[in-house]
A and B are shown apart, each in its own frame.
Chain A
Amino acid sequence: MSWNTAKKRLTRDIEGLPKRLRDHYQREAIKYALPTFDVQTPPLLKNKDIKSLHEIGITEGDLIYITEGENKGTVTTVTKYLSNYDSFVVTNSTSKRLFQKSNWVEGQTSHVIDFPNFIPRSHVRLAGKEKDESGATNYLVADKVVLKDKYYDDRYKKWLPRRYVKHHETIEIPWPNPPGKLEEGELSTEGDAVLDKTYELQTIAKPPVPAEALAQLRNPHSKYKKRVLSELQARRLKAPEMPLSTEQKIYLAKNANKPKKTYTNLSPEIEDFIGSKMAEHISKIDNPAMLTHLEALSKSTIPDFEKTMKNIKESEQA
C-alpha cells in the first residue's frame, strides 16, 4: 500500500456525512485562521464530479444571473469557471483580501488586493440578451438549460450541443464568442499553412542538417565543450589535504631520524637446518599427489618476497 492510500484511509471523508456535520467539520478546519486571511473557498470536488464547460451548459463569456449572495439579482459575465470548485468567477464581483508576502504574485505591491469572489454554480442561472423592435434590451433568464443536437462550431473548432431553455425549447441561447482570440504575430503560421509539408526526411543515412550549418545551430564555444578545466573546477575536484595533528607531526619527526629497517639473508647454518628438517619430512611422504602438491607450493610466489630481497641487496651494497 502506498503512503497516499494509507493517508487517504485515515482522513475523514466529510462528503458522505449529513450537512450539519459537514458544516461543523469545515468550521473546525478554519477555526484558528485569522479572519483577514480567511479564504472562503467552496469544498473541492472529487475528480469524477468535475465537469467541462460545455457539459454544464455555461461557458466563459456567457451572461449569468446571480440568484443568491451579495450580488443577488445582478446580471454579469463569466470570466472563468473553476471546475474543481464548481464555481464561477464573474466580472465586478471582488472583495478586499490580505495576502502574506510569500503568496504575492508578480507585480503585486500591496498586501491588500481585490480578490475575485467564487460564486457556486447553484447560485447562477444562464441569461440571454435580446433587443426588441423599440431598441430596448431585455434579459432572459433560464432556470434550467437543455442541451440538444450537435453542430460544428467554427469559432470553437469543435462539435457543440445547442442550448435551449427547458420547457421553452423554441428559445435557443447561442454559445458566446470564444474569449481572447490570439493575435497573429511575426512568427505565427497561418491556419491554412499548418498542415503543409515543406520538408521530408528521405534517408537516415545522411544527416538532415548539412555539416557546414551545424556551427550556426550549435555553440562551438560552449563551456561544456572545453577540454580544459578552469582553476575553480580543478580545485573543486581535488580533495583538500588534511592538516596533520601535533601527535602525527611528532611521530613523523621521530620516525624520520630512525634508520631504515634492513634484513639479512638467512645464514647457511639456518638454511641447512631448515633444509635437513624438510628433507627428513619429505622422505617420509609416499603419496605422489602430496609430493606434486608440495612441488606446486614451493613454486608459489609473493610480492613481499621480492621487496625483502631488494632490501637485502641494498643493505649489502651500502
Chain B
Amino acid sequence: MSLTAKEAFSKLPQKLHNFFIKYPPRPFAEYNTKPSTITDPKLNPFLPNKNPESGKWHSPKFSLRRSADLYKMARKFGIEELLPPTPKKYYEEKYDNKNWMRGVLTQKKKRWERELPEKLEAREQAIATMDETIAAVRPGYKKQIQKREARKKTWF
C-alpha cells in the first residue's frame, strides 16, 4: 500500500498537527538542545526557559509526560525527528545510553572470590618454581634434582 504525501498528511493526528502549527517541524525551524530564554526564537518548548527580565525560570511548555506522548505518537508515524529535541531518551537510544549501576556491571563478590584468580596464579607459579625455591634453602637438594634428571625416561 503506497500513499501519496497528501493522503498521508491527512492521516496526521490532531495532536501532532496542532503541535506543528505552533512549533513547525525541524528542518523548517531550529530548536535549542539546551534551556535558553523565553525571548529566544529558537526556544525549545520541551525545556525550561528563563525570563531574562524577572530572572525566573518558566517550566517547559510541554511537560515530560506530554512530550513523551507526542514523541511516541510521532514515532508511530515515523516523524519523531521532526519534533524539537526532547530531554528524554526513548526505546533503543534509551537502552544503549543507559547509565548502568556499577554493581550491575561488575559484581563486588566476597573478598575470597575477588582474590581467588590471583591466588591460583601464585600457587601455579610456586609449583612451577618449586625446585629452585627448595634448592635455595637446602643446597643438598641440587643433587636430588640431578639424580631425578638422570633417571628420567626418554623415548629413545
Contact = CB atoms under 8 A, between A and B. Distances in A.
Contacts of B24: 266, 270
B28 A283 contact: no
B76 A266 contact: no
A305 interface: yes
Interface residues of A, number: 34
Contacts of A220: none
Contact of A265 (B10, B21, B28): B21
B22 A282 contact: no
Contacts of A302: 14-15, 18
Interface stretch (A65-73, A210-218, A291-299): A291-299
A295 B11 contact: yes
Interface in B70-118: 73, 76-79, 82
Interface stretch (A115-123, A221-229, A271-279): A271-279
B77 A282 contact: yes
A130 interface: no
Contact of A277 (B6, B13, B22, B78): B78
A159 B141 CA distance: 127
B137 interface: no
Contacts of A300: 13-15
B120 interface: no
A297 B82 contact: no
Interface in A246-291: 263-266, 269-284, 290-291
A254 to B, nearest CB: 10
Which secondary structure characterizes the binding site on chain B? helix
Interface string B52-75: 000000000000000000000100
Contact of A270 (B20, B76, B77): B20
Contacts of A266: 17, 20-21, 24
Contacts of A304: 18
Residue from A263, A264, A297, A302 having most chain B Cβ neighbours under 10 A: A297
Interface in A170-211: none
B9 interface: yes
27 contacts: A264-B21, A269-B28, A270-B20, A270-B25, A272-B6, A272-B9, A273-B25, A273-B28, A274-B79, A275-B8, A276-B5, A276-B8, A277-B79, A278-B3, A278-B5, A278-B12, A278-B78, A279-B2, A279-B4, A282-B8, A291-B1, A293-B76, A294-B11, A294-B77, A297-B13, A305-B17, A308-B18
Given A275-B7, A294-B77, 7 more contacts: A266-B17, A277-B79, A278-B78, A281-B78, A282-B11, A298-B11, A312-B21
**Closest 6 CB pairs between A and B?**
A281-B78, A275-B5, A275-B9, A279-B8, A305-B14, A278-B8
